């Protein structure tokens, strides 16, 4: 295909990256974003690389407008009154404090229950820790790449788990479903993810914003 530019993350196979460079292709190696600042810096970097610096600035500006809306709604909520959320994938609860999803939670006005419980990357969160964290709401995936019905079964299993019946999220049937493009959002869609999650967690704060939808 003879691409003008190949973009890969630094955690990609080094031998593959070296092989691309050896063919004479122009290769850009980017860091793996773990927060909003890194995402926006990568957007600016790629925009410069393809000669669209102004377009990159516009994308970042559009993100900042959405983030400003969120901040205007949840910015004054005291830390201790912010809702605790625990997010699930088919592998279980996720969201270590060093991951991108943690930053999405914080900027949405939520407290990341997995981080509060001390979840580390590559580990699983025990039911005992979920109970002790007592999340206000759960976040479930919308899509499964394995087979139809997997995400529905996950949701039913968690909400019907007898060991979780004392958790506020279960008692109040408080949860929402999120698309993968928001759960793993290392692009301009991170701002959309933050706005979406904040709207779902605090719908009463966004009644004026959503009135025209």
Tens of pLDDT, residues 7-17: 999 988 899 99
> Residue 197: which of 123, 101, 127, 128 has the closest Cα?
101
Percent of the chain clearing pLDDT 90 (strictly above)? 78
Dump pLDDT digits (tens) for 145-185.
666 668 889 999 999 999 999 999 999 999 999 988 888 88
pTM of the predicted model, to two decimals?
0.90
The CA-to-CA distance between both ends of the chain, in Å, stands at: 42
Q: What's CA 106's distance to the chain center, in Å? A: 10
All residues at 6 or more sequence positions from 5 whose CB lies less than 8 Å from its CB, including other chains? 26, 27, 28, 49, 50
151 contacts 141 by C-beta, under 8 angstroms: yes
């Amino acid at each position: 295909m003879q691409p003008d530019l190949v973009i890969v993350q630094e955690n990609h196979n080094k031998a593959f990256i070296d092989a691309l460079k050896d063919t004479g292709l122009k290769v850009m190696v980017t860091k793996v974003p773990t927060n909003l600042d890194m995402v926006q810096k990568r957007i600016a970097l790629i925009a410069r690389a393809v000669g669209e610096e102004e377009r990159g600035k516009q994308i970042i500006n559009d993100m900042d407008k959405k983030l400003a809306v969120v901040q205007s709604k949840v910015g004054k909520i005291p830390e201790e009154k912010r809702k605790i959320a625990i997010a699930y994938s088919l592998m279980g609860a996720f969201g270590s404090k060093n991951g991108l999803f943690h930053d999405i939670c914080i900027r949405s006005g939520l407290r990341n229950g997995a981080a509060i419980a001390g979840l580390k990357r590559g580990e699983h969160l025990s039911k005992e820790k979920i109970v002790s964290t007592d999340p206000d709401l759960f976040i479930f995936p919308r899509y499964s790449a394995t087979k139809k019905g997997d995400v529905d079964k996950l949701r039913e299993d968690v909400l019907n788990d007898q060991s979780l019946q004392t958790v506020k999220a279960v008692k109040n049937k408080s949860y929402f479903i999120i698309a993968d493009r928001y759960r793993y959002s290392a692009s301009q869609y991170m701002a959309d993810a933050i706005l979406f999650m904040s709207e779902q967690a605090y719908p009463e704060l966004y009644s004026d914003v959503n009135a025209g939808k």
